[in-house]
């Protein structure tokens, strides 16, 4: 990567690689890999904004199969000097040390406040800051509980993997019915952003995924909330060129 080439920052969310409701998971993965390789000449950073994998659970000496092409493309980017940060979502909660060590990436669980090209970005998958349902918040805590994780790991993968994909498929069908069509002033994400700035100062961009919709909302002058869409149905991503942030589509 040379100094004469623009160094962009890319944001990708909710690809749900391996999901049972994706008709051809290998074609989907190859499309994502082709895109990853296409951004290599211009990428300075890549933020994977959660739910990149539809299901992931790391046993001590065993990891799930089916992601080789995607992981290989990430490794190529990382080896070339691209900074890759993976924010956990609600489907890829159980990333531990395998992916950071194997791919040379940083994994974040929760909110990330970072400065890019002089602008302040606050990043989160979206389920941790914009999900109002109490039942969901309780489930989120259970999934992150170390004892619950230890008990889950005692179940043989032949049972857990099938169960997880079945649950995911059911959740996705229900989620489409509940998808918010637009962002309004009383949206939980808007409330979070306003409260966050009251406590922490100005933020230029709040970026989330999770909702499987593309949306933008002005929180305040020069402060924007961006929802990225998704990388399996809408096939959208965000790109920051140092001046502006745009939502674009992953090519066929």
What pLDDT, on a 0 to 100 scale, did the predictor assign at position 170? 47
Domain span including residue 15: 8-108+135-182+226-249
Structure confidence at residue 127 (pLDDT): 87
CB 184 within 8 A of CB 218: no
What are the structure tokens assigned to 241, written together? 């060129």
Q: Would you state the pLDDT for residue 251?
A: 96
Give me the number of domains the chain comprises. Answer: 1
User: Considering the domain boundaries, does residue 129 fall inside one?
Assistant: no
Q: pLDDT of 149-191, one tens digit each?
A: 666 666 666 666 666 555 555 455 444 444 556 899 999 999 9
When pLDDT is averaged across residues 133-155 and rounded to a whole number, the result is: 66
Is residue 28 in some structural domain?
A: yes
Least confident range from 55-64, 183-192, 213-222: namely: 55-64
What is the predicted pLDDT for the residue at 40?
96
In a domain, 165, yes or no: yes
Task: Please tell me the predicted confidence (pLDDT) of residue 4.
Answer: 54
Q: For residue 26, is it within any domain?
A: yes
Asked if the structure places residue 99 within a domain, the reply is: yes
Beta strands in 105-160 (DSSP E): 106-108, 112-116, 119-123
Q: Give the mean model confidence (pLDDT) for residues 201-227.
A: 96
Using one digit for the tens of pLDDT, what is the confidence trace for 64-104? 778 999 999 999 999 999 999 999 998 888 888 889 999 99
By three-state DSSP, how is residue 110 classified? coil
- CA 40 centroid distance within chain: 19
For residue 190, being part of any structural domain is answered with no
| Domain-embedded: residue 41 | yes
Q: Residue range 8-37: average pLDDT? A: 95
Q: Is the pLDDT of residue 28 over 80?
A: yes
- All residues at 6 or more sequence positions from 236 whose CB lies less than 8 Å from its CB, including other chains: 214, 228, 229, 230, 247, 248, 249, 250
Q: Is residue 198 part of a domain?
A: no
Residue 214 has pLDDT above 90, yes or no: yes
């Amino acid at each position: 990567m040379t100094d004469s080439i623009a160094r962009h920052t890319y944001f990708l969310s909710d690809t749900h690689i391996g999901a049972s409701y994706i008709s051809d998971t290998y074609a989907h993965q190859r499309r994502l890999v082709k895109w990853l390789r296409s951004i290599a000449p211009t990428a300075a950073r890549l933020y994977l904004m959660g739910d990149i994998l539809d299901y992931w659970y790391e046993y001590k000496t065993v990891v799930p199969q089916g992601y080789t092409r995607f992981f290989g493309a990430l490794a190529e980017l990382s080896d070339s000097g691209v900074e890759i940060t993976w924010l956990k979502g609600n489907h890829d909660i159980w990333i531990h040390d395998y992916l950071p060590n194997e791919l040379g990436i940083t994994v974040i669980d929760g909110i990330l406040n970072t400065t890019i090209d002089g602008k302040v970005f606050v990043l989160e998958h979206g389920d941790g800051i914009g999900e109002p349902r109490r039942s969901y918040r309780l489930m989120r805590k259970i999934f992150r509980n170390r004892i619950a994780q230890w008990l889950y790991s005692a179940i043989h993968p032949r049972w857990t993997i099938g169960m997880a994909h079945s649950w995911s498929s059911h959740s996705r069908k229900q989620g489409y019915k509940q998808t918010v069509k637009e962002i309004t002033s009383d949206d939980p994400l808007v409330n979070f952003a306003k409260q966050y700035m009251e406590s922490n100062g100005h933020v230029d961009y709040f970026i989330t995924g999770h909702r499987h919709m593309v949306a933008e909302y002005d929180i305040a002058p020069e402060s924007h909330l961006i929802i990225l869409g998704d990388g399996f149905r809408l096939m959208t991503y965000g790109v920051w060129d140092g001046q502006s942030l745009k939502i674009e589509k992953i090519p066929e």
